[in-house]
Structure 1
Amino acid sequence: MENYNRIYIDGRWQPAAGGELLEVINPATEACIARVPRGSAEDVDSAVRAARGAFDGWASTPGEERRALLLRIADGMEARKAELTAAISASMGCPEHIAEWLQVEGPIEAMRLFAEHTAITEEITEAGHSLVWREAVGVCAFINPWNYPLHQFVGKVGAALAAGCTMVAKPSEQTPLQDLLMAEIMHESGLPAGVFNLVPGRGAEVGRALCEHPLVDMVSFTGSTRAGVEIAKAAAPMVKRVTQELGGKSPFIITANADLAAAVRYGVDDVMINSGQTCTALTRMLVPAQQREEIEELILDRVAEITLGTDGGAFMGPMSSQGQWQQVQDYIRIGIEEGATLLCGGPGNPEGLSTGYFARPTVFTGVHNEMRIAREEIFGPVLCVIAYGDIDEAVAIANDSPYGLSSGVYAANEQDALAIARRIRAGLCFVNGGEFNYRAPFGGYKQSGNGREFSQQGVEEFTEIKSVQLAAPAQ
């Protein structure tokens, strides 16, 4: 990739206004692997104006043409899959053999699926003597995270392109490389100038400028709940539409009659994959009190199999940054101070890994739901095991959280699991080992955000509904 030192605005690669650079650090080696432009409010203004200038033409482009462009973008992603995988792995730490299927293959599929929904702005329904249709919401600002950077990029950009919106994207300063690659791919696909613009930079500068810009119609953000509140405040004076995918502290209810070995493996792997840096991670494992010891043994067996590193045999890579590593260490110490029992793991670096931001896979038992480690998002490889007496208590514990992004149930059969899933207040529920599905909507309840991504519902988020009143027929 050649465009590390430029930003992409109005179909052209150009220097950032300020000329300053941000370092991209490999969290496995702690070495600087790239430097990218530090965008500014001036760059944001240029990018937003380019998006505004391109909006009318793109919004009126026939759905079939938008569909063809989305498919060309997906083809370009497929052709450069190895580069996208290497960029994500090098900048956020997920081992390449896992990053390929976890971080890249799904987003390629999602981009193709968005191409199925480009006719959304051409569909007209009748409501009595009125016509109802959808139109693109306008210029969108996207503020993306570092933990699944391509996944969230596509969830926003693919949906907005399908709906006929134009946009300015800001990648996380920790993981900008795959976004720069995507800008190249979209340029090569023939996307009209100004439809997509990319401005790397810090959240306090570029992110805030995007939220406050008077020509931005909608802001979509993925990140912490704390940051989401600030973004909503910044966008509120102009009543911009704001959609957010925020934090989580998701429960995983294992029933007494479930296949315990399968349930525990699924639950442990769900928390430890991507080094625990997954917003939907099922970090509160709720287990029957009478089977707690058996489940603890199964947890120990699975954690003992987890290997750390970046080679082909590693299941867990490093934390994404020194700051994230320190946050995990702080929470592990908080858990110990709160009186939780450290079943395995703990503070410090894993043995033999003194270089890189590696954390030990950690499991606490004897946790109760009032502890900070049970209520706050740690965003690392830390699992809390909470015992319950009956299913009513398990559901009450599951719902006793300010968050409602994800959840899981593992029961003897799907019917039993679905009955419990209906009682959990969360936007997603993974039943008996279910997997993420790009054809289904993604988003949370409560402080986990608002709006939905992916699927038809994700495209609908980027549209306005227009009601056209015709003359009523004569009586």
Structure 2
Amino acid sequence: MERHNKHYINGTWVESNGTDFLEVVNPATEQVIAEVARGNAEDVDVAVNAAVSAFDGWSRSTVADRVDVIRALADTIEANGDEVTESIMAEIGQPVTYAHRASTTTTVNDLRNFADALPHVQWEEKIGSSRVRRLPVGVVGAITAWNGPIRSVCLKAGAAIAAGSTVVLKSSEVAPLTPFLLAGYTEKAGLPAGVFNLVTGTGPEVGEAIVDHPAVDMVSLTGSVRAGSRVMEVASRRVKRVALELGGKSANVILPDADLEKAIVSGVQDAFRNSGQACGALTRFLVPRDRLAEAEAFAAQTAGAFVLGDPADPATQLGPLANADQYNRVRGHIDRAINDGVKLVTGGLDRPAGLDTGYYVQPTIFSGTNNDRIARDEVFGPVIVIIPFDDEEDAIRIANDTDYGLAGGVWAADAEHARQVAGRIRTGRVRINGTPIDMRAPHGGLKLSGIGREMGRHGIEDFLEYQSLHG
């Protein structure tokens, strides 16, 4: 079993001031595979001071220099792709085939998108007799989620570094091992010491210390609404900027003239990626009332075809949930919905056949109304609710009747009509007829889904400030 008693600070591994450790559990075996240092506010202070010292030099680096480093980091991750994929698989149970494609390769592409976008940021413009410049925000505190052990980190740290800022990262204590690999890769890529720093620990101890630190200029968090609210509360004491990528309960609107089977099959496959542990998953299926029975049948058939099993098996499509707390939470949602009398189409509380160990949950489909709690709460697991609508206006109303506003989907025979409907859905992004997401476009939410944007040029610009020079 690995034991890590050090944090990555100022380009080297520094022994933690904390004396306790946090266990890392493989969710497929339920066995402890590593321990990492439980850092504290002293560790955060050392890391922040390193980031402050490195900021002046890095903030004055050229765009070309930053492009080179970001590209070198992407190349390094790509060259060590198997190591990254295996780490993600062990930490959170992502099936190897999915982890390689959606985590490792997508992270490489995200970084290359940042490198491509950097020269297109309008770093300076003339307005009358003034010049308006874009400046790096400063020291960024990045707090990332367990469902993206490398991608969530690079969407924040990669963008902030590309912008000329320095970073202090608190990765999730559930999945801290892959970020350790990333720290080593930043060295190989030629990133100067102190630009990227990593402290492991819990949210209340390390996360809050980062948010509250007077020398941290901005905090970027991916997590729950509760965590985002706490970050805003603590950050408000020093009136510092925050970027929040939070939850979702996104609607997949299937209009009457759409290909219902195609929309349902594609939608279920999307919603169950990463075992449903995806903030942008479309987990409310809105279907014409007169086709509800058909939709239920298509969804049940699709869900029943998923292969659950060992994440190391290339054939596995659904792995376990990432940890015991998440397993119990998702099962709690399923149990309550059943007790509330919501129609269970397929799945449920029984363990998947042949999987007596590991945090596995059956792919589960409910059919109900938008007033059911299973349609209101973010489950963050392989659970979908199908909701009938009466007409197009009713579908739009239901889609918007949520506290969240992260993602959405619209299916229609006429793509232009689908785009018109999409324009009335209050979310940060909407996919038309299952079109794949272009990772160069911004990702982020409205309402309780957060503040700010990630990915591509817009992700870099989230870490920039304006400065006006008059004269």
1:146-165 equivalences under 5 Å are 146-165=146-165
1:166-315 equivalences under 5 Å are 166-309=166-309, 310=311, 311-315=313-317
Aligned residue in 1 for 2:15: 15
What is the Cα deviation at residue 123 of structure 1?
2.7
What is the Cα deviation at residue 125 of structure 1?
0.8
Q: Distance in 1 between matches of 2:50 and 2:197?
A: 8
Q: Distance in 2 between matches of 1:50 and 1:3?
A: 24
Q: Distance in 2 between matches of 1:121 and 1:411?
A: 35
CA contact (8 A) 2:249 2:404 kept: yes
Q: Which amino acid in structure 2 is aligned with residue 237 of structure 1?
A: R
Q: Which amino acid in structure 2 is aligned with residue 358 of structure 1?
A: Y
CA contact (8 A) 1:3 1:13 kept: no
Aligned residue in 2 for 1:473: none
State whether structure 2 residue 112 is matched by structure 1 residue 112. Answer: yes
Q: Distance in 1 between matches of 2:19 and 2:9?
A: 15
Aligned residue in 1 for 2:381: 380
Aligned residue in 2 for 1:345: 347
Closer, same or farther: CA 327–48 of 1 in aligned 2, 3 Å: same
Q: Which amino acid in structure 2 is aligned with residue 323 of structure 1?
A: D
CA contact (8 A) 1:222 1:245 kept: yes
Residue-by-residue CA offset, 1:366-415 (whole Å, 9 max, x unaligned): x1111111111011111000000101000000000010000011111311
Residue-by-residue CA offset, 1:107-144 (whole Å, 9 max, x unaligned): 10111111124347783211111111101100000000
Q: Which amino acid in structure 2 is aligned with residue 408 of structure 1?
A: G
Q: Distance in 2 between matches of 1:190 and 1:286?
A: 49
Q: Which amino acid in structure 2 is aligned with residue 316 of structure 1?
A: L
State whether structure 2 residue 320 is matched by structure 1 residue 318. Answer: yes
What is the Cα deviation at residue 339 of structure 1?
1.8
What is the Cα deviation at residue 297 of structure 1?
1.3
Identity of paired residues, percent?
A: 45
Q: Distance in 1 between matches of 2:415 and 2:36?
A: 48
State whether structure 2 residue 330 is matched by structure 1 residue 335. Answer: no
Residue-by-residue CA offset, 1:220-250 (whole Å, 9 max, x unaligned): 0000001110111011110110000001000
Aligned residue in 1 for 2:459: 458
Q: Distance in 1 between matches of 2:408 and 2:369?
A: 18
CA contact (8 A) 2:2 2:33 kept: no
Q: Which amino acid in structure 1 is aligned with residue 144 of structure 2?
A: N
What is the Cα deviation at residue 337 of structure 1?
2.0
Structure 1 window deviating more from structure 2 (179-188 vs 112-121): it is 112-121
Q: Which amino acid in structure 1 is aligned with residue 337 of structure 2?
A: G
Q: Which amino acid in structure 1 is aligned with residue 341 of structure 2?
A: G
Q: Distance in 2 between matches of 1:452 and 1:328?
A: 28
State whether structure 2 residue 105 is matched by structure 1 residue 95. Answer: no
Describe the SS at the equivalent of 2:58.
Answer: helix
CA contact (8 A) 2:251 2:284 kept: yes
Q: Distance in 2 between matches of 1:47 and 1:209?
A: 11
What is the Cα deviation at residue 63 of structure 1?
1.1
What is the Cα deviation at residue 352 of structure 1?
1.3
What is the Cα deviation at residue 422 of structure 1?
0.5
Q: Which amino acid in structure 2 is aligned with residue 451 of structure 1?
A: G
Q: Which amino acid in structure 1 is aligned with residue 26 of structure 2?
A: N
Describe the SS at the equivalent of 1:8.
Answer: strand
Q: Distance in 2 between matches of 1:216 and 1:121?
A: 24
Describe the SS at the equivalent of 1:283.
Answer: strand
What is the Cα deviation at residue 60 of structure 1?
0.4
Q: Distance in 2 between matches of 1:124 and 1:292?
A: 54
Structure 2, unaligned runs of 5 or more: none
Closer, same or farther: CA 399–450 of 1 in aligned 2, 3 Å: same
CA contact (8 A) 1:120 1:163 kept: no
CA contact (8 A) 2:232 2:242 kept: yes
Aligned residue in 1 for 2:50: 50
State whether structure 2 residue 446 is matched by structure 1 residue 445. Answer: yes
Describe the SS at the equivalent of 2:249.
Answer: coil
Q: Distance in 1 between matches of 2:2 and 2:345?
A: 48
Closer, same or farther: CA 450–444 of 1 in aligned 2, 3 Å: same
Q: Distance in 1 between matches of 2:111 and 2:273?
A: 23
Q: Distance in 1 between matches of 2:430 and 2:4?
A: 39
Closer, same or farther: CA 436–183 of 1 in aligned 2, 3 Å: same
Q: Distance in 1 between matches of 2:44 and 2:120?
A: 29
Over the residues paired in the alignment, what is the CA RMSD in angstroms? Answer: 1.4
Q: Distance in 2 between matches of 1:6 and 1:120?
A: 38
Q: Distance in 2 between matches of 1:19 and 1:193?
A: 25
Q: Distance in 1 between matches of 2:409 and 2:148?
A: 20
What is the Cα deviation at residue 349 of structure 1?
1.4
Q: Distance in 1 between matches of 2:371 and 2:233?
A: 29
Residue-by-residue CA offset, 1:301-324 (whole Å, 9 max, x unaligned): 111211101222111000111111
Q: Which amino acid in structure 2 is aligned with residue 411 of structure 1?
A: A
